[in-house]
Structure 1
Amino acid sequence: MDFMVLVLRCCSLFGILFAGLAHGLEITSGGSTSIEKASMESVKLDCQFTLAPEDSGPLDIEWSLLASDNQKEDKVIILYSGDRAYEDYYLPMKGRVHFNSADPKNGDASINLTGLKSSDTGTYQCKVKKAPGIRSRKLLLTVMVRPSKPRCYTEGVSVEGKDVILKCVSSEGTNPLQYTWEKTSDTKLLPASAVLDPTAGTMNVKNASAGASGTYRCTVKNRVGTEECIMDLRVTPPRNTAGIIAGAVIGVLLALILIAIILFCCCRARNRKKYEKEISYEIREDVPPPKSRVSTARSFTSVGSQRSSLGSMSPSNLHEYALKPQYDKIPSEEYERPPSHAPPPPGKMAGPNLSRMGAVPVMIPAQNRDGSIV
């Protein structure tokens, strides 16, 4: 009897438990809990639920961004409480997060997040509460940045016989980035000596030949996007180094010749100036300067004035004027004669000397003491 009572009680207890499990609040969304999206795209975070008759309390829905560090606080991004949605609760996502349903109490607590940014990456939790039931679901969202348009260029010189390196670089993009090279011209086959690095985005063409010339395309991609760039490669023949060296040598020789000519001209001009200076010194030392004839010229001027005066005198006065000793001195060459020839005494110059000097015998008028002609 006691055994039968115990069995009935156990059966009733298991019935209550199974009834609660079958008819209580449940999150019914399935599928992957890890989502990858590209930046600027939109994503739907799914959270479907069902209610049981015994869940009679008010319905509350809360979405939060869980902190990666346990020391930090979780960020609530959107709420539904008291039959009202609070969508501008989290400022960094203001205007970008909305409930998928206009009436979430019908069992759809999903949200839509638009204009994704790399900072939106994280773990999101959907929590549905309707007393006495409480359920939650977590989803991992990874927002990846598409690769930016890469830049294609060559590193070093593109000369035959040298190694030519083609580089492809994308400045933005979430790793891992994968680079591939292909030739789009001629045979569309990469050079046999090409070595590719899909991570660094380089293609090294060793010992390049003219056949490596052509058009190449580089493609970069990650899990959310693809971009590409195109470049032309022209492998040129090596330069004529012998001609370049010969030209350089000729240029140096011409420069040296020009410098030598300039130095020669400078030295010649300096010697000529020195020679002219020495000649001027010899002239000053060997040839005395000519004697001054200022006194002689003055004397002749005086004689000329006397002659003009005499021409206006009367014959009666000429005799007295000739007797005056201060007017009987006529310019002579006594200053130009050597010292051995003594000049005649003053007032006693002979007639022949006067005639040789071009003098004309005249009568000298007499004068009184104040110099007037009498």
Structure 2
Amino acid sequence: MTSKKQLEWKPLFLIFTVLSCCSSLEVSIPVSEYEVARGGEIALTCSFIPARPNFDTMILTWEAFPDNTVDPMIVVASYFLNKPVDIAPAYEGRASLKNDMTKHVSTLHLTKVTMEDNRRYQCSVAIPNDKQGTQAATTSLLVLVAPSAPICKLQGTAEYWHNITLTCVSQEGSPQPVYEWKSYSVENSPRQFPPKTTEKDGSLSLFNISVETSGYFICTSTNRVGSASCNFTLAVMPNSMNIASTGIIIGAVVAGVLVIGIIIFCCCRKSSKKNKFAEGSPGDVEFYDKDAPETGEQYWDDKSNSETKPHNQDEDKDVVPQSNYAVTSAGHTFDDDQHSSISGKEKYNGKGSDIDSQRYQDDQYRGSRDRLDDQLDRNEQRERYGGSRDRLDDQRQRYGGSRDRLDEQRNRYGGSRDRLDDQRERYGGSRDRLDDQRERYGGSRDRLDDQRERYGGSRDRLDDQRER
């Protein structure tokens, strides 16, 4: 009996359990994920089954999940039973809500969809005294955007035996794009990646690179909407072939060559100047025949220079005069040198010694150099005297300008004095006219007094007549 009663209660328990489940609120969204292209429009549908068909109050709300989980939910639209739909300010003009209470269906329409709408949404229903079951349902909205052109960059230094990384990133793309690298040789032929190469999330890592690693690398960014790619040319160079260091070395070499060239030029010019003064005046060098030293006859290399040139007095005008003592002593010294040279010649005549003849030529050469030095000194004195004359002329010109300015000031002062005299004359004439006016006024007053006296006498006589 007991077993039969237990069997009878089990179906009843199942029936009550099913009825209790069916009598609770159930909210559902038929599609777990919606897809829409950027700039398009989409409709999100939410249906609900209340526990009691008849209800007087209900709140239906559409919300969006925030980017950060700690932030509150973003309200898109809300509906109170028998009241207008309330759209959030952020979605005004782009969102609308339609509710069918007969079918218990709510539809959220979104237009001009952007990447900001790419998130999860929730539909929730709240009915008083109906809190059992499922009160909310969620769905996702995927905004489809083709990948933008990726940007390829190099991380590291493209030199022998270094490790580098090639990165590839698209700024936008939904769903998230997938990146793929391909490698081509310098001859533009496909090839495999070097050993130990790794590729992850658009980053291609190359290890221990060499000249064989040089070539072309292409990265392709792809999603369900479209694809885009970027190219990167990799040129692996030795450590010493750095462009900056090479430029510095070339510049230093060029600068060094220029400095050396300038130094060589200055040295050559200085040495040529020394040789020029060391040679002396070729016309003043004396020569003697080696075969006939006893004759003592000398000849000049340039006989035209040995002739006496006419004295030009104009050339000596600019020469600073020297003391007679210096000239006399110099002439005396020259005579002594000549006398000593003649006596030396007489002393060594007849011996036929080449060494003595060479010594005599050296003495004559030294005398020529001394005369050349004297000429240089005189030229320097002429230049200094010419500079003094130029400075004197400049002073005279400045003094003449000062005199001209002084004459102009005197002329202006004379004109001022003339104008002052004119003013004085006009003032004197004004004073004379004023004195004349005063004299005429005095005469007028005298005549007026006379008239008053006569009038007084007339009045007195009239009074006398009246009395009579």
* TM-score after normalising by structure 2: 0.40
More relative contact order in 1 or in 2 (CA 8 Å, sep 6+)? 1
Q: Which has the higher helix share?
A: 2
* TM-score after normalising by structure 1: 0.48
